[in-house]
Amino acid sequence: MHALAGLEQADGTAVLDGEDLLPLPPQRRRVGVVFQDQRLFPHLTALDNVAFGPRAAGLPRAAARRTARSWLERLGVADLADRRPRRLSGGQAQRVAIARALAAEPRLLLLDEPFAGLDVGVAAALRIELTRHLAAFDGVTLLVTHDALDALTLATVVAVLDDGRLVQAGPRRRSRPGPAPSTSPVWWASTSSVRATGSGRSRRPRSLSRCTRRPTPAATAGAASCAPQRHTATPSGSRSPASRT
Amino acid sequence: MSRDPLGRAPLVLLAPAALGVLVLVVPLLALVAATEPATLVDQLTSEAARQALWLSVTTSTAATLVALVLGLPLAWVLARVRLRARRLLRALVIVPMVLPPVVAGIALRAAFGRSGLLGEPILDLTGFAFPYTTWGVVLAHVFVAMPFLVISLEGALRSTGSGYDGAAATLGAGRWTTFRRVTLPLALPGLAAAMVLAWARSLGEFGATITFNGNYPGTTQTMPTLIYVERQADGDAALALSLLMLLVSVGVLVALRDRWLVTA
């Protein structure tokens, strides 16, 4: 995941909209990340955190703040605009983090275990909301989770990694963990790629695929298969997800 | 003292700790006790002391600012840029810190003296030479104080972590924007502490300054050099001047303690 965002080196290719992301520096990839620990800037208010992307894109301060406020409203946390991250609860911080990532208008949105560490009730509510926000998002979303529920409720395409190997990939309905996974499987779920295909905004399906020397089974247009070599965060003890896919 | 749930602190640690405090504090108390109030007032109002104190404060401040302008980017490079020679670079930066100040003064002479490696071309081009000038004092101060600033600032930059830098990059910010809007604000407390450290080191600087610049009242005679000269002529005056330096140093610490120096 960090390799797709450009925060770690990776071999191979990661094609998005016909363009290989890997040679680009992270700030030019337009890949938004909702980090597992959010990484909201502690010295900025929630509003300025969300305004960071628009400002980096060259918007003047006032306009960036207007954009940020509308994103906070969409995520239902506009009343927290003036709070520093230290004074946000886990669920609130996660909402601000999602608003911040979306406000930068990414082409690809990466969600790293977005519900991990949240109270069960908060996670359930946020999962439902996220479905709505992702439906309105005109890009590919890649979600990594250890919870099958996330993959099955949010994804249109699911890839299952087990101990670093891609064991299944395909449309949501047919995916379930392979027989007797050795560790808890990692679900790479992509939402919205199919929706984007049908949205009419672009004829060409948005695609995110990865090819190493051998073609991967899931590297088909419109599906998100994934992932870079050597690494990315998969806390289940699988050392190198996808390196052998 | 509140009760410690783990039990009393062992004497084998408390005793040396107390002794350590004594070693640090007794000389300062003795300095206060030995100073006669009358000489103190005399010294404080003397022209030489006023000049030297002013020169010390201004050159230390100027040196701290120069060290900041050069040292902040250097600390950033050490903390954030993937360099193969990083260890070597850091070692080079630290050397002036462990160098005897007199040696630093000699080295500065070799580089910036009138016939020095850089000093000669500078003299030929501009007619200006560092030694025996106030600029020379600033240069000597920068040389001895900047390593403290760089090393403590690098620590501050590392402890804030590069995670936020990465987050900023995914939001479209280039490295300069990230530095300005994320890295630097997060490192501000460390930056302030680093500047205080550099300023204090600079204020007390003696060996490199006197070796490189001599001891001319008004241009190169800072407080430590004045104290040194007075010590040879008039012990009481040296005591009074030392007390004055002590007061200035403690004053700075007290003024900054709430804002910057609280680490707990």
**pLDDT tens-digit profile of B6-57?**
888 899 999 999 999 999 999 999 988 888 887 778 777 888 888 888 999 9
The reply to whether B172 touches chain A by the CB within 8 Å rule is yes
What does the pLDDT look like over A39-74, one tens digit per residue? 999 999 999 999 999 999 999 999 999 999 999 999
Edge-to-edge strand order for the sheet containing A15-16?
A: A19-20, A15-16, A208-209
Tell whether the model's pLDDT for residue A232 goes beyond 50.
no
Cross-strand partners of A191: A141
Q: How far is B150 from chain A (nearest CA, A)?
A: 23
| A5: chain B residues, CB-CB within 8 Å | 166, 170
CA distance B103 to A33: 52
Q: How far is B155 from chain A (nearest CA, A)?
A: 19
Select from A22, A138, A5 the least CA-distant residue to B172: A5
Q: How many residues does chain A have?
A: 245
Residues of chain B with pLDDT > 70: what percent? 96
Average pLDDT of chain A is 73
B7, with CB counted inside 10 A (0-12, 13-18, 19+), is exposed
Contact B150, B75 (CB under 8 A): yes
ipTM: 0.76
Nearest residue of B to residue A106, measured between CA atoms: B171
Report the run of H or E that residue B151 belongs to, with start and end: helix B134-160
pLDDT, position B259: 58
CA distance A22 to A2: 11
- Token pair of B124, please? 């030929």
pLDDT bin (cut points 50, 70, 90) of residue A208 is very low
| A104: chain B residues, CB-CB within 8 Å | 170-172
| DSSP codes joined into one string, B154-214 | HHHHHHH-SHHHHHHHHTT--HHHHIIIIIHHHHHHHHHHHHHHHHHHHHT--HHHHHHH-
Tell whether the model's pLDDT for residue A151 goes beyond 90.
no
CA distance B141 to A213: 58
pLDDT, position A146: 83
Size of interface A-B (CB pairs under 8 A): 60
What does the pLDDT look like over A119-141, one tens digit per residue? 888 888 888 888 888 888 888 88
The reply to whether B174 touches chain A by the CB within 8 Å rule is yes
Contact B191, B65 (CB under 8 A): no
CA distance A23 to A3: 11
- Token pair of B38, please? 């009358």
Cross-strand partners of A188: A144, A159
Contact B78, B155 (CB under 8 A): no
Q: Does A35 sit within 8 Å of B182, measured CB to CB?
A: no
> Among partner residues B171, B172, B186, which is closest to A43 by beta-carbon distance?
B186
Q: Does A56 sit within 8 Å of B173, measured CB to CB?
A: yes
The reply to whether B184 touches chain A by the CB within 8 Å rule is no
Nearest residue of B to residue A35, measured between CA atoms: B167
A96, with CB counted inside 10 A (0-12, 13-18, 19+), is buried
CA distances from B255 to A92, B63, B148 (A): 38, 20, 20
Nearest residue of A to residue B178, measured between CA atoms: A56
Select from A45, A48, A50, A10 the least CA-distant residue to A29: A10
Q: Does A41 sit within 8 Å of B170, measured CB to CB?
A: no
pLDDT, position B258: 64
The residue ranking higher by pLDDT, A202 or B29, is: B29
CA distance A218 to A138: 22
> Among partner residues B172, B185, B186, which is closest to A27 by beta-carbon distance?
B172
| A7: chain B residues, CB-CB within 8 Å | 166, 169-170
Tell whether the model's pLDDT for residue A178 goes beyond 80.
no
Contact A133, A75 (CB under 8 A): yes
Tell whether the model's pLDDT for residue A102 goes beyond 90.
yes
Report the run of H or E that residue A110 belongs to, with start and end: strand A108-112
Select from B152, B231, B136, B244 the least CA-distant residue to B199: B152
CA distance B192 to B259: 9
CA distance B241 to B237: 6
List the helix and strand counts (H, then E) for chain B.
13, 0
Q: Does B185 sit within 8 Å of A43, measured CB to CB?
A: yes
The reply to whether B170 touches chain A by the CB within 8 Å rule is yes
Chain A interface residues (partner B, CB cutoff 8 A): 2, 5-7, 25-33, 35, 37, 39, 41-43, 52-53, 56-57, 100-101, 104
pLDDT, position A243: 34
CA distance B236 to B262: 36
> Among partner residues A31, A37, A43, which is closest to B170 by beta-carbon distance?
A31
CA distance A3 to A229: 8
Q: Does A39 sit within 8 Å of B164, measured CB to CB?
A: yes
> Among partner residues A25, A29, A39, which is closest to B167 by beta-carbon distance?
A39
Q: Does A7 sit within 8 Å of B171, measured CB to CB?
A: no
Residue A231: φ, ψ to 5°: 115, -155
A 10 A CB-CB count for A42 gives 14
Least confident of A164-173, A193-202, B129-138, B255-264: A193-202
Segment A205-221 mean pLDDT? 33
Residues of chain B with pLDDT under 50: 263-264
Q: How far is B185 from chain A (nearest CA, A)?
A: 7
Best A43, A44, A98 residue to mutate vs chain B (most B CBs within 10 Å):
A43
Segment A199-217 mean pLDDT? 33
Average pLDDT of chain B is 89
Q: Identify the structural domains of chain B with CATH numbers, from first to last.
A: 39-258 (1.10.3720.10)
Select from A118, A142, A106 the least CA-distant residue to A31: A106
